[in-house]
Amino acid sequence: MARGGFAEVRIPHQKSKDGFLFPTVISPNSAVGFDLSLLAESIREQKPWLEALLRSSGAILLRDFPVKTASDFNEVVEAFGYEEFPYVGGSAPRTNVVGRVFTSNESPPDQKIQFHHEMSRVPEFPSKLFFFCEVAPQSGGETPIVLSHLVYERMKERFPEFVERLEEHGLIYTRILKTEDDLSSPIGRGWKSTFFTQDKSTAEERAARLGMKLEWMEDGVRTVMGPLPAIKFDKMRGRKIWFNSVVPSYTIQNDTLNDPEKTTTFGDGTPLPSNIINECRKILDEECVAIPWQKGDVLLLDNLAVLHSRRPSNPPRRILASLSNIIDECLKIMDKECVAITWQKGDVLLLDNLAALHSRRPSKPPRRIPASLCK
């Protein structure tokens, strides 16, 4: 199907699922010469169609569009108009590149990252994820994706009692974080980055808001989260999903701080059966789609429908990411009612946090706005 300069295309590696292709792949209609501003305008115009595709397939790959740099990617993300989602409580070491664009995970690319829904270990998570291939790996380094409800259905069929226990008790996630980031581990984010602060009491407040308990240690902190649901219900699609981190927890590499068998337990504190977790890992691998990255690719995932992972590769590889939340009527009202004053150097803005909400509009560097919170 073609729409406003966009054309759905077929590429190798796509899988056919329930009458649609996974993921949906969209390229320029051959009659249209795209530049970046036309691409952004077309995304805004065709957003209802793109969202309908995302609802059906759970993932859209934009390929062969003129998206060359992190700033270009930021414009594409902005064109979709979703609210930015802050990465508070996430575990991957990442840094801001430009606007709302971050490195995806700075751990060494030769390490595999197991399938996960983004931020499934905390109660609030992004609804959508964007990835962008700035530098394609020569081989490997794919970001495989898998439909979460298929994993649930296969696990339920094969291990019904285990899945029933998961649904009944949920999961408790326990993890020790160092103080600073450890770039040798895909989950090596230290507590200062995790909670965006240097101050322990602020970290405690932010953790408490997520429902997470902190136990301070000599060089780090033990975090305890849960019980959290291990199986969620995707209301929009009317199906159960495998929204948990049991497989990454059991197979994490280069993490000497955490014992895999203790990092995740049933919600009643009993250990998980490692043989079943291993079988789950095989099901994820069997059901997944792994499309080799091409420079300029933009991949949009619905974080409730799709799990993602990372295959190992050798440098160079640079995949950038951006997390978004669903925009709704409330956000439109906020946009209409807000005041946005252009910053001048030296400005100090004092807000009553009970009276005013605040946000940030995208900009190009340099921009530096330090903040301070008071009781």
Which stretches of the chain bind Fe ion, using CB under 5 A? 118
Q: 118 vs 142, which CB is nearer to Fe ion?
A: 118
Task: Please state whether the peptide bond connecting residue 144 to the residue before it is cis, i.e. omega within 30 degrees of 0.
Answer: no
Beta-carbon count within 10 A of 84 CB: 17
Give least dist CB 152 to Fe ion, A. Answer: 19
Give least dist CB 136 to Fe ion, A. Answer: 19
147: three-class secondary structure by DSSP: strand
Give least dist CB 231 to Fe ion, A. Answer: 19
**Which residue type is seen at 173?**
Y
Q: 42 vs 143, which CB is nearer to Fe ion?
A: 143
Give least dist CB 271 to Fe ion, A. Answer: 25
Q: Which residue's Cβ lies closest to Fe ion?
A: 118
Which residues does 333 contact at the CB level (< 8 Å), separation at least 6? none
Q: 83 vs 118, which CB is nearer to Fe ion?
A: 118
Give least dist CB 131 to Fe ion, A. Answer: 9
Give least dist CB 116 to Fe ion, A. Answer: 6
Q: 24 vs 91, which CB is nearer to Fe ion?
A: 91
Cβ 266 vs Cβ 165: under 8 Å: yes
CA distance linking residue 341 with residue 371, whole number of Å:
17
Q: 245 vs 258, which CB is nearer to Fe ion?
A: 245
- Count the alpha carbons within 13 Å of 140 in the hemisphere toward its beta carbon: 12
Furthest C-alpha separation in the chain: 63
Among 352, 344, 355, 349, smallest CA distance to 371 is for: 349
146, 234, 323 from 304: Cα distances, Å: 11, 7, 13
* Helices (H), ranges, the chain: 36-45, 47-57, 70-80, 148-158, 160-169, 191-194, 200-210, 246-251, 260-263, 274-287, 329-337
Q: 118 vs 134, which CB is nearer to Fe ion?
A: 118
Give least dist CB 246 to Fe ion, A. Answer: 15
Beta-carbon count within 10 A of 72 CB: 21
Q: 72 vs 118, which CB is nearer to Fe ion?
A: 118
